[in-house]
């Protein structure tokens, strides 16, 4: 029943009229502050965002799929049945620009003060003149630090941390924050010319933090060892096959679902019962995050 209702709302919002009315309400009563845009990422996830017959209709026209709430502020969740390859294809440059402008216009009509982007888009669009998006790295870093403290306190972990994807958009900001918190950080990332896990940590109960792109950890399974704890911040959460392989090695796998809050209806593939870190607003005080044990 949920999918037909979402599809009906999304269809009604192909025009800007509903956003005009919601914006009027927001300017009078307040409470709406964020527009969050997410996308399917891979072809196999597209049907979670739109039925096959609607894919072409919504592909480059972000439409609402839900409402989120965090710290008393509501936000609208927009989505498209798009893959990363389609975003990055130069042949789609005009459509990609139109998509950014549509998101920006929706935010302005609503009177929202934050545009948040999922996946690779914060890095891809950080200098775009078409969309004034919020750089979510500080929020993600704070969430990962909170999750790291929780796991370190509850699992007697070594202070050494292996950061998978440490040369990426989030990883570059996360590494110094972890070091400032007293951790020794070893980056594993081909972009930093480090493709091997540090041999001197072999066998130690260290924490592996994955902020790389989806599926990267699968390439390193043969380098992992029992006693490690893995914290996954990557979307989507690892596949069942990968989780089984990790747990078979004696590795605990924890998924950072996001910041305490709600999305209605829940987002698929690892964001249940939380607002994704990339969509969250920076709290004034401590950040309450949701961790889920995978494969337990």
Contacts of 244 (CB under 8 A, 6+ apart): 295
pLDDT of residue 50: 66
Task: State the Cα angle at 231 between 294 and 123, rounded to 5°.
Answer: 120
Which one-letter DSSP state was computed for residue 114? E
**Residue with token string 């599926």:** 215
**Cα distance between residue 237 and residue 239, in whole Å:** 7
- From the list 270, 252, 289, 295, the residue with the least C-alpha distance to 149 is 289
pLDDT of residue 43: 64
pLDDT of residue 3: 61
Of the listed ranges 14-18, 38-42, 231-235, the least confidently predicted one is: 38-42
pLDDT of residue 245: 95
Which one-letter DSSP state was computed for residue 293? E
Decide: helix, strand or coil at residue 241. Answer: helix
**Parallel/antiparallel/unpaired status of strands 73-83 and 229-232:** unpaired
> Residue length, the chain?
296
Measure Cα distances from 226 to 107, 156, 208, 223, 255 in Å: 47, 14, 12, 10, 18
CB burial of 231-245 (b: ≥16 within 10 Å; e: otherwise) equals bbbbbbbbeeebbeb
Predicted confidence (pLDDT) per residue in 35-70, tens digit: 999 987 666 666 666 677 778 888 999 999 889 999
Q: How confident is the model at residue 5 (pLDDT cuts 50, 70, 90)?
A: low
For residues 269 and 236, the answer to whether their CB atoms sit within 8 Å is yes
- From the list 285, 290, 211, 263, the residue with the least C-alpha distance to 36 is 263
**Parallel/antiparallel/unpaired status of strands 289-294 and 73-83:** unpaired
Q: In whole numbers, what is the pLDDT of the chain averaged over residues?
A: 89
Q: Which residue has the higher pLDDT, 111 or 136?
A: 111
């Amino acid at each position: 029943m949920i999918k037909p209702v979402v599809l009906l709302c999304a269809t009604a919002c192909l025009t800007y009229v509903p956003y005009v009315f919601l914006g009027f309400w927001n300017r009078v009563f307040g409470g709406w502050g964020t527009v969050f845009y997410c996308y399917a990422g891979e072809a196999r996830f597209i049907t979670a965002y739109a039925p096959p017959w609607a894919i072409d209709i919504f592909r480059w026209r972000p439409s609402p799929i839900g409402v989120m709430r965090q710290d008393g502020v509501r936000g609208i969740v927009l989505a498209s049945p798009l893959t990363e390859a389609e975003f990055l294809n130069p042949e789609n440059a005009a459509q990609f620009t139109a998509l950014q402008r549509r998101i920006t216009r929706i935010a302005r009509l609503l009177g929202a003060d934050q545009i948040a982007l999922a996946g690779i888009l914060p890095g891809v669009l950080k200098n775009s003149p078409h969309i004034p998006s919020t750089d979510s790295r500080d929020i993600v870093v704070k969430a990962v630090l909170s999750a790291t403290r929780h796991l370190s306190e509850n699992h007697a972990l070594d202070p050494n941390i292996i950061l998978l994807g440490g040369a990426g958009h989030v990883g570059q900001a996360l590494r110094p924050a972890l070091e400032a918190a007293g951790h020794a950080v070893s980056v594993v990332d081909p972009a930093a010319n480090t493709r091997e896990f540090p041999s001197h940590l072999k066998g130690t109960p260290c924490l592996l933090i994955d902020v790389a792109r989806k599926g990267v950890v699968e390439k390193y399974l043969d380098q992992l060892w029992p006693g490690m704890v893995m914290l996954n911040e990557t979307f989507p959460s690892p596949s069942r096959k990968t989780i089984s392989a990790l747990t078979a090695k004696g590795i605990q796998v924890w998924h950072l679902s996001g910041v305490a809050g709600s999305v209605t209806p829940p987002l698929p593939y690892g964001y249940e019962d939380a607002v994704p870190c990339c969509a969250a607003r920076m709290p004034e005080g401590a950040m309450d995050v949701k961790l889920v044990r995978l494969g337990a």
